[in-house]
């Protein structure tokens, strides 16, 4: 079954950029209660949107705080130690303008802080809520990211700390994604470290491809990457632009909090239960985590 958000009134023509036309199309059967046990395909109607033109992205990169713009060489191996990443000598604007030839990939983080991108993110996530039969308020901590990549660029195997609808706008890429519960790919201790601020890259033997599912994406395609599913990205022969609409549910926010607390308990010599094993302990750990997160948010930013 294809879930489409029913517009509140008749759509104005077939314009996919109309504020009332549905943006996402996916099978809600794979998406239960705002979460999923494995990655699945979606399609979308965002291609050609003016917010994804290169010059608009250059403008956006200048609006964002420099710490929200990350760019990397695109020649990294699939399994990569982040301490050995070489520097990119171009500015952000130069990297975007020369993306066809500069052999890089970059990410513009938290682009929802720019109001137009924030409105687009909310439309996407509200449609997810409608398809999943959820109150939109239950899809929390919403954030959007934009990826701009040179032909052939590789993003090494890594984790992301949120549920992610990765929507391909321009060019092609292959996403290789493990199931979030596959402990052959990543163990509990590595997850605890990641959710306590460890680097996102996952270091593993090369012999892991049997555990990953491959999703070929072209313009108009997308994939849902559930948290915490390790994945790597191999771009095709053209410049690639992808929009990432991310969010948490109570379940994934709890998982993140439990891993954060478990890391601390492990350092004290304890052997804490992983998330999902002891519901009452999970709730207590999540409550502590949320309280500490709220305190941290009130502290002045570190310089």
* Residues engaged in binding Fe ion (CB under 5 A): 160
| Residue 256 C-beta: closest distance to Fe ion, Å | 16
Of 99 and 178, CB closest to Fe ion: 178
Describe the chain by its helix, strand, coil percentages, rounded to 5: 35, 25, 40
Nearer residue to Fe ion within complex by CB, 79 or 281:
79
Count, in order, helices (H) and strands (E) of the chain: 6, 13
Whichever of 160 and 221 has its CB closer to Fe ion, that residue is 160
Of 81, 156, 127, 292, the residue nearest 224 (C-alpha): 127
Nearest to 200 by CA among 208, 187, 191: 191
Sequence-ordered strand ranges (E) for the chain: 2-3, 24-27, 40-44, 69-73, 104-108, 140-149, 154-158, 163-170, 173-178, 212-217, 221-225, 231-235, 240-248
- Residue environment code for 233-256, b if the CB has 16+ CB neighbours within 10 A, otherwise e: bbbbebbbbbbbbbbbbebbbbbb
Q: To the nearest whole angstrom, how small is the minimum distance from the Cβ of residue 160 to Fe ion?
A: 4
Q: 157 or 261, CB closer to Fe ion? A: 157
Q: Is the peptide bond before 228 cis (omega within 30 degrees of 0)?
A: yes
- Alpha-carbon distance of 182 to 188, in angstroms, equals 10
Nearest CB to Fe ion, comparing residues 5 and 201: 201
Could you tell me the smallest distance in angstroms from the CB atom of residue 292 to Fe ion? Answer: 26
* Rg (alpha carbons) of the chain, rounded to whole number: 19
CB of 159 to Fe ion, least distance (A): 8
Residue number with CB closer to Fe ion (162 or 253): 162
Tokens of 291: 């309280």
Q: Which residue is nearest to Fe ion (CB)?
A: 160
Q: Which is nearer to Fe ion, 4 or 200 (CB)?
A: 200
CB of 145 to Fe ion, least distance (A): 9
Min separation Cβ 167 and Fe ion, Å: 13
Name the minimum Å distance from CB 231 to Fe ion: 6
DSSP reduced 3-state for 169 = strand
């Amino acid at each position: 079954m294809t879930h489409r958000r029913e517009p509140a009134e008749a759509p104005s023509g077939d314009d996919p950029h109309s504020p009332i036309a549905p943006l996402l199309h996916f099978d809600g059967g794979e998406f239960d209660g705002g979460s999923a046990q494995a990655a699945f395909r979606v399609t979308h109607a965002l291609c050609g949107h003016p917010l994804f033109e290169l010059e608009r992205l250059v403008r956006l990169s200048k609006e964002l705080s420099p710490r929200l713009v990350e760019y990397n060489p695109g020649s990294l191996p699939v399994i990569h130690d982040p301490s050995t990443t070489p520097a990119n000598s171009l500015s952000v604007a130069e990297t975007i303008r020369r993306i066809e030839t500069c052999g890089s990939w970059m990410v513009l983080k938290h682009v929802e802080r720019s109001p137009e991108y924030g409105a687009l993110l909310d439309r996407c996530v509200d449609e997810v809520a409608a398809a999943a039969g959820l109150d939109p308020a239950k899809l929390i901590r919403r954030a959007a990211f934009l990826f701009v990549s040179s032909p052939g660029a590789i993003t090494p195997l890594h984790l992301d700390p949120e549920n992610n609808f990765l929507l391909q706008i321009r060019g092609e890429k292959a996403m290789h994604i493990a199931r979030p519960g596959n402990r052959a790919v990543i163990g509990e201790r590595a997850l605890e470290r990641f959710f306590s601020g460890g680097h996102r890259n996952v270091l593993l033997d090369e012999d892991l491809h049997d555990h990953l599912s491959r999703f070929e994406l072209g313009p108009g395609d997308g994939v849902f990457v559930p948290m915490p599913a390790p994945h790597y990205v191999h771009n095709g022969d053209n410049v690639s632009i992808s929009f990432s609409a991310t969010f948490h549910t109570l379940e994934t926010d709890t998982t993140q909090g439990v891993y954060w607390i478990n890391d601390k308990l492990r350092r004290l010599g304890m052997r804490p239960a992983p998330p999902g094993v002891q519901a009452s302990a999970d709730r207590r750990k999540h409550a502590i985590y949320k309280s500490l997160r709220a305190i941290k948010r009130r502290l002045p930013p570190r310089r």
